[in-house]
Amino acid sequence: MNKEQTHSHPNYVKIYFILLGLFVVSIVGPLIGIKWVTLITAFGIALVKAVMVGAYFMHLNIEKRFIRYILYTALLFMILLFAGLAPDILKSEGNNWVNVSTVNTATIDQH
């Protein structure tokens, strides 16, 4: 019943060592001290690792396609939540308006 019986299963140990290699890169990256390198090595590699774990360990690569769409949908809704919240929390000034509450918060925070 498991599809792995028909597919030759991937070499899990090999994937594990690739993941470890990526893990080392994500640790070493921030030591260089350049901000964008840190961001790429930290989050880019986290993403790559997550995709690899998902694809090979969770067998999403051979799972029915709609499972992937379900998970993408859940992720998309979270991006939507982020996008909806972002202008509210990150932006406190516009052309003709100022979000007074955030300005007050900032001044309170300073002391």
Partner 1 sequence: MSFHPPLATSRSMTGIPTGRLAVWWIIASEIVIFGGLIASYLLFRLHYSEWAEYASHTNTVAGAVNTFVLLTSSLFIVLAHQAAIEKNKEKAFRFIWFTIGGGGVFLLVKAYEYTTEIAHGYTLFANNFWGFYYLATGLHGLHVIAGMIIMGIISFDVKKGVKLERVEYIGVYWHFVDIVWLFLFPLFYIAK
Partner 2 sequence: MVNNISDTDSLSHKDHHTEASFWSKYIFSTDHKIIGMQYIITGIVMAVIGGYMAYVFRMQLAFPGKAVPGYGLVSPLDYNMLITNHGTIMIFWVAMPILIAGLGNYLIPLMIGCDDMVFPRINRLSYQIFFISTLVILISFFVPGGGFGGAWTAYPPLSSEAIYNHTPWGAPLWVIAVALEFVAFLMGGINFITTTMNARCKGMKMYDIPIVVWMIVIASIIFMASVGPLIAGAVMLLFDQTLGTSFYNPMNGGDPVLWQHLFWFFGHPEVYVVLLPAMGIVAEVITVFSRKKLFGYKTILYTTFATGILSFFVWAHHQFIAGIDPRMANIFTITTVMISIPVGEMLFCYIATLYGGSIEFKTAMLFAIAFLAEFLIGGVTGIYLGASGTDIYFHDTYFVLAHFHYTFFPIAVIGFFTAIYYWFPKMFGRKLNETLGKIHFWGTIIPFNGIFIPLFILGMGGQHRRIYNYNHFPDLSTPSQQDLRVFATTSMVIMLVFQIPFFINFISSLFKGEKAGNNPWKANTLEWTVPSPPPHGNFAEMPEVYRPPYEYSVPDMDNDYCPQNCSGKKI
Residue 98 engages partner 1 in binding (rule: CB under 8 A): no
Q: What is the DSSP string of 81-93?
A: HHHHHHHHHH--B
Q: Report the distance separating Cα 17 and Cα 31, nearest Å.
A: 22
Residue 99 engages partner 1 in binding (rule: CB under 8 A): no
Residue 97 engages partner 2 in binding (rule: CB under 8 A): yes
For residues 15 and 56, is the Cβ–Cβ distance under 8 A? yes
Residue 1 engages partner 1 in binding (rule: CB under 8 A): yes
**Residue 53 interacts with, from partner 2, partner 1, none (CB under 5-8 Å by kind):** partner 1
Residue 7 token pair:
């597919």
Site mask, partner 1, residues 8-27, x = CB under 8 A?
A: -x--xx--x--xx--x--xx
